[in-house]
């Protein structure tokens, strides 16, 4: 069965929304379970768990992207959502197994790679940046109310109900993919059988990293993604725990913070992103997003009061326009039958950051002794005991050392992005991606015998 209706961006949006809504419900319970399971080195262990998951995503992303180009997107949407949500019911069964399965689930936790390829299959090039912005905004929207709902249900009825509800929503997402999501990749663009060969070069996560050095534009884009997403990945893995333990936020305050940030991110990634892409262009949109990210991370790094976290969060919403703009730029470098490969390449770099970023943040927190031995009580979030606890951390000049490191990394990304050309040569670009994938590509994309092997995306304007 091909699903309900024709493939559309809205199918991808619903898949993303349900998956991350389920995980959003578990925000507050996860912070509690994490601290109870690893009371001595909470930040360090959190970084290691998320680091292993990210590294496994990096290793598997190219293979999953290439396989989705051959076998279609729907099967891999089902696979990635299932394994990403597999750890959810284990939270109340066994916390140790819960964190262990989260780590190994990174092998298939590349839903965004398949979703972006799905969107690329069904959109025109001029529509793609808006479509990517919509998908990223949906990710933010899924976190607007789910952490608040999870915190409320956990306080009123216990965390077990929250885990059951999150599991049910994850199952609903799987059923939606099985029943409603149509295949986006036409049969004529992929082999008819499941026996199509996949070479080691396609499955090798380092193959794309070796290829990107052959062309200046691809290299600049990938370095920009790496330097900007490395601190973002570390921040995502530890920031809500940081708000809870160091800044004295209650579970309700953390949920409210996520909701406000999510609403602002939705506005930024839809309305603002669309206006910026039309008015200042793709490259300048990326530069503006990186500028906001530098300001946000520096503010987090030096901020020692809760109101500073709220103010910096508003800036963080504007920095969320960077990745959709980069994804739109990258999607223009590939033909229709290679979108999975190129999105897998970027997702692979992000996966590498998802491994290195959390581990790096956890290690920096550890060497600066940013740890607490007691979890702040939610009901005393505005009381003197919690205030005294997080004021203990304010004796240092930099309350959040990893965030300041992240600001320096994004500053380097901004300097690199300045050298990305505003326009690329479309004719050369199309044929060169064919050559890149020709040696290990699909039967429907043969290389012309007379073509010379040129670097990827060679821009004659540079």
Residue among 144, 124, 68, 78 at smallest CA distance from 340: 68
Residue range 221-243: mean pLDDT, rounded: 83
pLDDT digits (tens, 9 = 90+) for 402-442: 888 888 999 999 999 888 876 654 333 444 444 444 444 44
* Distance (Å, whole) CA 143 – CA 22: 9
Dig out the tokens for 124 from the structure.
């025109």
Domains of the chain, earliest start first: 1-184 (1.20.1250.20), 209-371+399-422 (1.20.1250.20)
Predicted local distance difference test score (pLDDT) of residue 394: 44
**Distances, alpha carbon 285 to alpha carbons 15, 69, 112, 299, 320, in Å:** 27, 29, 21, 21, 11
The SS3 assignment for 226 reads helix
**Residues 163, 91: contact at Cβ < 8 Å?**
yes
Is residue 85 within 8 Å of 22, Cβ to Cβ? yes
Distance CA 71, CA 81 (A): 17
DSSP class of residue 422?
Answer: S
Separation of alpha carbons 18 and 272, rounded Å: 24
Please tell me which of 266-280, 389-403, 438-452 the model is most confident about, judged by mean pLDDT.
266-280
How far, in Å, are 126, 194, 197, 289, 441 from residue 191 at the CA level? 28, 7, 10, 40, 11
What average pLDDT does the structure give for the chain?
A: 75
Q: What is the pLDDT of residues 298-342, one digit of tens each?
A: 888 887 777 888 888 888 888 888 888 887 777 766 556 555 566
Sort 294 into a burial class: Cβ within 10 Å, 0-12 / 13-18 / 19+.
Answer: buried
On whether the CB atoms of residues 420 and 286 are closer than 8 A, the answer is yes
């Amino acid at each position: 069965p091909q699903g309900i209706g024709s493939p559309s961006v809205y199918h991808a949006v619903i898949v993303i929304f349900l998956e991350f809504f389920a995980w959003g419900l578990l925000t507050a319970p996860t912070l509690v379970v994490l601290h109870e399971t690893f009371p001595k080195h909470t930040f360090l262990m959190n970084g290691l768990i998320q680091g292993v998951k990210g590294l496994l995503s990096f290793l598997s992303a190219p293979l999953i992207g290439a396989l989705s180009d051959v076998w279609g997107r729907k099967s891999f949407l089902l696979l990635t959502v299932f394994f990403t949500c597999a750890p959810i019911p284990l939270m109340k069964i066994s916390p140790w197994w819960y964190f262990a399965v989260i780590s190994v689930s990174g092998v298939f936790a590349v839903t965004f790679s398949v979703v972006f390829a799905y969107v690329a299959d069904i959109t025109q090039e001029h529509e793609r940046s808006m479509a990517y912005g919509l998908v990223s905004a949906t990710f933010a929207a899924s976190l607007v109310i789910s952490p608040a709902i999870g915190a409320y249900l956990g306080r009123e009825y216990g965390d077990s109900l929250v885990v059951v509800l999150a599991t049910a929503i994850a199952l609903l997402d799987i059923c939606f993919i099985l029943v409603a999501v149509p295949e986006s990749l036409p049969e004529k663009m992929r082999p008819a059988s499941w026996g199509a060969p996949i070479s080691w070069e396609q499955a090798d996560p380092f193959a794309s990293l070796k290829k990107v050095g052959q062309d200046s534009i691809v290299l600049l884009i990938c370095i920009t993604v790496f330097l900007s997403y490395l601190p973002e990945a570390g921040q995502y893995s530890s920031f809500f725990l940081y708000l809870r333990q160091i800044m004295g936020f209650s579970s309700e305050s953390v949920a409210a913070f996520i909701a406000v940030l999510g609403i602002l991110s939705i506005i930024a990634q839809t309305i603002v992103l669309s206006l910026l892409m039309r008015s200042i262009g793709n490259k300048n949109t990326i530069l503006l997003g990186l500028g906001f990210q530098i300001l946000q991370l520096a503010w987090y790094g030096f901020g020692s009061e809760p109101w500073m976290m709220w103010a910096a969060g508003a800036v963080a919403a504007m920095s969320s326009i960077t990745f959709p703009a980069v994804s739109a730029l990258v999607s223009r470098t590939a033909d229709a039958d290679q979108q999975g490969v190129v999105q897998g390449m970027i997702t692979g770099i992000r996966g590498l950051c998802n491994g290195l970023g959390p581990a790096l943040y956890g290690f920096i927190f550890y060497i600066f002794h940013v740890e607490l031995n007691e979890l702040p009580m939610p009901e005393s979030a505005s009381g003197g005991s919690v205030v005294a606890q997080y004021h203990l951390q304010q004796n240092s000049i930099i309350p959040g050392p990893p965030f300041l490191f992240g600001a320096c990394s994004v500053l380097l990304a901004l300097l690199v992005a300045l050298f990305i050309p505003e326009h690329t040569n479309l004719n050369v670009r199309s044929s060169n991606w064919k050559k890149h994938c020709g040696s290990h590509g699909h039967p429907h994309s043969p290389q012309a015998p007379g073509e010379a092997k040129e670097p990827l995306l060679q821009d004659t304007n540079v």
